Structure 1
């Protein structure tokens, strides 16, 4: 039996459509500026992710080409951000917005951290970009550590777990266990408790059911993750109108892994845009 989790109300209509179009134009402009200087690539990436969320507000099933364009731009910019910060000289060839672009290497930057890595990895999973997933997973964990100490230690255990899973390295169970232990609210100190419990922990729990091939437990865990997502984004009026809550990026990515791996996904929700989950745009154009 398929469960349904209704998305909370977000500002829609002509204003939301115009906002999405403005963001799309801003992404295009920032992409074009990267060939002059890649120093602001984190802003381009952040804008592209926001553009994807805005598109999903007005197109909750991801049924129109503009939404897939937004997803592709976001995944390409996420990969490019880690590519240009992974080299200190020369140029890096990156396909972004239907063109192969030559971007100057800029060396290590504080924004190429574990938080942005997770977002970039989720996008690569959702777009089924296996080569990009591999490239991201080959980045040494120490390179992703924030010099400002802005993340709890469990975040690094979590990245290590995902890299270990995708690259089929040994120690997955031990690393996932360490992630669980370090993400306990009694241990984590930096992330606010409501953020940890509502958004950050559920993908870890969902991944646990996925790697165990727990067909019976996966969909209930996904349903619970979406309900927690909804609770977090409706806690107050400011959150309820924030387009960041339009899609549940981490749960969506793990649901994509599960679906592609043969685990039934018996949950429907606008937090999981149908054509992103089902990869309905497969083969439309290179990503």
Structure 2
């Protein structure tokens, strides 16, 4: 497919940056929670949960994950992502967590008129965008797109900080959905996945080497918890629902301050700050519009605050 974007070079000094975007690349740790297209939270599937946790009503609302994003050095413009998804553990098995490890190549990231790829020369100010879109058409289903939105910061009410949390230089929210550009609705059988993640290393770390040995990662629960640093937003009280509204085929209000609105050829993903926020903005909107097989992206920021030098 073709993404109709112009590569914008900001006026002024332009330099080659080793780490192309503040919301992309490096090491991230956080929680992933899924929602049905009705707005209902989808907890971790019970076949992945130990029997004793099910018996005690302790099925987690989401997964703990570590994500490594690497910019290539072989001339390929796309970034790759490795995800370590930890499985719920019962009892005292905390020194060698069970995990599912996957790797994938990501679509090129876009924000406004900027298309981000390895080696691109861009002004550092351009790279500090509040939101990026990483989108790909589904080759098996005409008109359906996998849409990933990466926002600066956490939306909704800020989760409780966990004891022993490491200091991290950045935070982000990711939202992935499957959108039918013809009907203006989400694919009914799909889910909307939301991540709240903290960046614990600006570059991929050589210290992280999950083994994937018989379903075991070789990673310690206390260390993973210190990286994630906050409680799971899926455990917070929330009102998630699908709302029918005039002029929109889709209006979905979810946890973590995320809202989706859609109609044929148009998808808006919104992130709104809540209580105890550390964001310097009140609301971010990433808007996609389609014309044939081309998608156009724009980002809107509400109530952005000045940063003191």
Interval of TM-score (by shorter of Structure 1 and Structure 2): under 0.3
Structure having the higher Rg: 2
Q: TM-score, normalised by structure 1?
A: 0.27
TM-score (norm 2): 0.25
More helix by share: 1
* Structure that is richer in strand per residue: 2
